Structure 1
Amino acid sequence: MKVLGNYLHLNLDIIKAVNKYDRAAISKLNKSGLSAGVKACYLSHYSIFESIVKNGYKNGLIFEDDVDIEINITNIMTEVHRKLPSDWDMLYLGHCSEHGSYIETGLTIHVLHKSEHPKCTHSYAVSAKGAKKLLEKLNIIDPYYHLDMQIADFIMAGEIISYSIHPPIVVQFKGVTDLSDVSPGIEGGTDPLMNSTLRILGYDPDGPNS
């Protein structure tokens, strides 16, 4: 993420995620039957929502550490922000298996959809209002499901107001030796971007320098 942030001139705060081997942290969710890895992910995102509220931030943009980003993300987000409805709680920059209902916004290339049931948490924004809602709704003691699926259920029920950018401007980057600190070496499909920053930097999920 530091490589991406520096190249794109993004002022990122690098937050150490909860490790699935951190027994002290994971023990907070001992009532849950979820795996240690799922619990660690849940706690990592939950702590960011707490930080947004505690520090009085207007919103937060969250990237997991195994992503690739459109090279012109700043221009895209400037345009999206002007068209984003004011009632938003969440905005998905990247998502899995999400379609949603189209909103006519007049964006140059990308479009906004009203989210229906977005999956994955590799890149999204959350407003202060949205962070407060998530802290109220998420069960930090005994979560019943993966974080992304719980949030998707809130969205589908109309309890969280969310929008999605299409096509995604942030995707998961999975290779034999990907850049993730949390799940290194987990292979999977890498969706194409119009202008991949990692590929410009020379990273290839199928190549020797991935």
Structure 2
Amino acid sequence: MDRDFSAFNSYFEKIYILTLPRLKDRIELFTRELNGLNYEIFYGIDKEEISMESMKQQGIYDSAAYTGIYKKQPEMNPGMLCCSLGHVKIYESIIANQYNRVLILEDDVFPVAENLPLFPQLTQELPDDWEVFYLGYEGNEIFGWKQTVKRLYYMTFPFHTSLRLSRAIFSNYYPRPLSKHIAKAGFHDCTHAYGVTLEGAKKLLQQQTPVVYNADNLLSYAIALEKIKGYITMPKLFNQRTARYEIRSLTS
């Protein structure tokens, strides 16, 4: 299906789609649905071709630091590690090529067609200091009176079922609207569609060398701890196909 992606092609200096050669069904789907988008396929690291022990020995992955962040999982699973490494490799490419504005998509992404025409207006509203810009995300999408109460409670009694979160993180847990279509990002899930600047890529790479975060938590922690300037678009321009179709995930 043809859609007008010209504004995306003009705004971003580079567009990557992260996938694996063996995921042919996914590649076929995003090739069809993103026709007109000037992207480059970026092949990540396959979980079937790595050894977790080797990743530790090479200093690529720090399991001790990982357990300091995640309460219930003693070890990152291989699929998630490879997903995180795929994003790390893209940050390295951004830095090596000195790309100033890059859009990163995962292979389970699909566009919200009716919202795509909003993109030129979104870029006009987006603050110039942005370093991470979510075009798709999940979780903590609104900030109303219920969220205000929850935030105050968690700031008093910090608690999360699976993550170790501080009062500082809970103070920035929910988005804060800045304009009609842009909000300061909160603590969000997913990395299926986000923009990153050159400076943003440098900061994310520093935080993820060695790998200690799941890919989406890297962004959410960095933003909530105010180590990087992140924003979200309202409404979302991209969603994840895995939330809608039964297709195997990169991290399954």
Task: Determine if the TM-score, normalized by the shorter chain, exceeds 0.5.
Answer: yes
Structure 1 residue 84: Cα displacement: 0.8
What TM-score do you get using the length of structure 2 for normalisation?
A: 0.63
Question: What's the CA shift string for 1:88-121, capped at 9, x where partnerless?
Answer: 000001111033001124xxxxx11100112111
Offset of 1:70 from its aligned partner?
2.1
Counterparts of 1:68-83 in structure 2, within 5 Å, are: 68-71=110-113, 75-83=117-125
Higher fraction of helix: 2
What is the rounded CA distance, in whole Å, between the counterparts of 1:69 and 1:26 in structure 2? 38
Would you say 1:166 and 2:208 are equivalent positions?
no
Ranges in structure 2 where 5+ consecutive residues have no aligned partner? 1-29, 64-74, 142-174
Identical columns (%): 28
Distance 1:60 1:42 in 2: 17
Q: Of the candidates 24, 28, 33, which is equivalent to residue 4 of structure 1?
A: 33
How far does residue 31 in structure 1 lie from its aligned partner after superposition?
A: 4.2
Query: Which sections of structure 1, spanning at least 5 residues, go unmatched?
Result: 106-110, 187-210
1:61 corresponds in structure 2 to 103
Distance 1:128 1:120 in 2: 20
Q: Secondary structure at the match of 1:15?
A: strand
Q: Which residue of 2 aligns with 1:102?
A: 177
Question: Which residue number in structure 2 is paired with residue 16 of structure 1?
Answer: 43
CA RMSD in angstroms comes to 2.2
For 1:204, the equivalent position in structure 2 comes to: none
**Which residue of 1 is the match for residue 126 of structure 2?**
84
Q: Which has the larger radius of gyration?
A: 2
Letter in 2 for 1:16: Y
Aligned pair count reads 174
Distance 1:148 1:91, change over 3 A: same
Q: Deviation at 1:75?
A: 2.9
Aligned to 2:204: 134
Q: Which residue of 2 is the match for residue 27 of structure 1?
A: 54
Q: SS state of the match for residue 40, structure 1? A: helix
CA–CA separation in structure 2 for the residues paired with 1:26 and 1:80: 44
Matched, 1:155 2:223: yes
Contact 1:92–1:125 under 8 Å retained in 2: yes
Q: Which amino acid aligns with 2:38?
A: N
State how far apart, in whole Å, the 2-side matches of 1:170 and 1:25 are: 32
